[in-house]
Structure formats: C-alpha cells, structure tokens
A and B are shown apart, each in its own frame.
Chain A
Amino acid sequence: DTAVSQTPKYLVTQMGNDKSIKCEQNLGHDTMYWYKQDSKKFLKIMFSYNNKELIINETVPNRFSPKSPDKAHLNLHINSLELGDSAVYFCASSQGGFYNEQFFGPGTRLTVL
C-alpha cells in the first residue's frame, strides 16, 4: 500500500498554462506539506496544512494555491506556469508529535517549456 501518493509523477507543460498536482495519504496523519526541490536538490517548504487549516505559507508566488479538501488530501494548483517553476514537487505528511518523521510522496517532476 502506498503511504503518500502523488499524481502525476511527471508533468510537462507550456509556459502560461495552469496545472494541478494531487496528493493523498492513507496514514491517518493530520499534517500535510508541499516542498519544492530545485535542480540543485535544495528542498524548500512551500505550504503546510494541519487538519485542513493552512499553518505554513512560505514566501511563494500567489500563482501557487494549495487546497485541502480533507485531512487525507492536499492538492497544489499552479496558475500561469513559468520556466522557473520547473522542479520536483514533493508532498509529505506527518502526525502530530514533534518527534514524528515526515513521510514523503514519490515527487512530481514538473517541466515547463
């Protein structure tokens, strides 16, 4: 069983398009995250939701909008895609306690042409 799944795994699109990445976790966790990993492998947090409430919102262009319909899902919608948005986007989840690890999805490689 896949703990944290993301769709799609690969996404190739043209500049200016709007796209969404979906994330689902079946671990019963209450917190979910979106990270962006650039070409130099730097992992930067973008957003986090706890029990469907936005709790972390880093300095991210407002073209990026997360949506959490329920605790098990956290989707990322990106408007007006730019070349610089090309990266691998990771979804992750964790459960409450601060000692608890994050479980990561397989990543979505987004390529903007």
Chain B
Amino acid sequence: AQTVTQSQPEMSVQEAETVTLSCTYDTSESDYYLFWYKQPPSRQMILVIRQEAYKQQNATENRFSVNFQKAAKSFSLKISDSQLGDAAMYFCAYRDTGTYKYIFGTGTRLKVLA
C-alpha cells in the first residue's frame, strides 16, 4: 500500500527567509502525481503546487518550488521569501493513476516569525 510520510511535525522560518518541508512516499507504481496542500487557520485546504512523476523538471509556482527525487521517492517543498501569510499546515499528497484515492501525509505546521 502507498504511504506518505512527513517527518517534520513543525517548522519555523523567519520572514523573508527560505524553508524546505520534507515529504517521502512509498509506492511500487511508476506513474503517479504528487501535491502540496496548504491549510491555514481558516481550515480551507488550498492547492499549493503539483508534480507529475514522469516529468523530471521540478514544478514551480511563484515563491513555491519542489525538489522531486523520483528514485529516492522524495518530494520536498521549498518556500522562498517566506511571508506571514504562509503560516499554515502543509500536507503532502499522493495519487496514482490506478485509483481515485489521494493519500495524505500527517502534515507539517509552519510558523513564520516576524
């Protein structure tokens, strides 16, 4: 069965600095999709960025980028120029092409310090 692991329950970053959140997953599939979702205190889950496993190029969305290492089954999220509004829970999620099911990690709480 596929699993998603986020080993950092909590991280802190100074405003304007860069932080990297870790995510590893386990799968025997070769084609799948990975996502990072953000959940601010408002509870609303929002997609931050996504990556297709067959694409070697790392996805980038403004200040957010990923480091996708397929062989290592690693999918970390880098947030550059951190802002106070980035403070939230961040969830890594996996989905393969054989199922409608998304598997979420346990989340990392990010604190941004002014």
Q: Which residues on A are within 8 Å of B, measured CB to CB?
A: 31, 33, 40-45, 48, 50, 55-56, 88, 90, 92, 94, 98-99, 101-102, 104, 106-107
Contacts and interface: CB of A to CB of B under 8 A. Distances in A.
B104 interface: yes
B33 A98 contact: yes
A98 B96 contact: yes
B96 A101 contact: no
Nearest to A56: B101
Interface in B15-72: 32-33, 35, 39, 42-47, 50, 52
Contacts of B102: 33, 45, 102
19 contacts: A41-B107, A42-B107, A43-B91, A43-B107, A48-B100, A55-B100, A56-B99, A56-B101, A94-B100, A98-B33, A98-B96, A99-B52, A101-B35, A101-B50, A102-B102, A104-B45, A104-B46, A106-B44, A107-B44
Interface of B: 32-33, 35, 39, 42-47, 50, 52, 89, 91, 95-97, 99-104, 106-107, 109
Given A33-B102, A43-B91, 19 more contacts: A41-B39, A41-B89, A41-B109, A42-B106, A43-B107, A44-B104, A45-B102, A45-B103, A56-B101, A88-B43, A90-B45, A94-B100, A98-B32, A98-B95, A99-B33, A99-B52, A101-B47, A102-B102, A106-B44
A98 B97 CA distance: 6
Contacts of A50: 100
B96 A104 contact: no
Contacts of B47: 101-102
A33 B42 CA distance: 20
A97 to B, nearest CB: 9
Nearest to B91: A43
A17 B15 CA distance: 47
A31 B100 contact: yes
B101 A104 contact: no
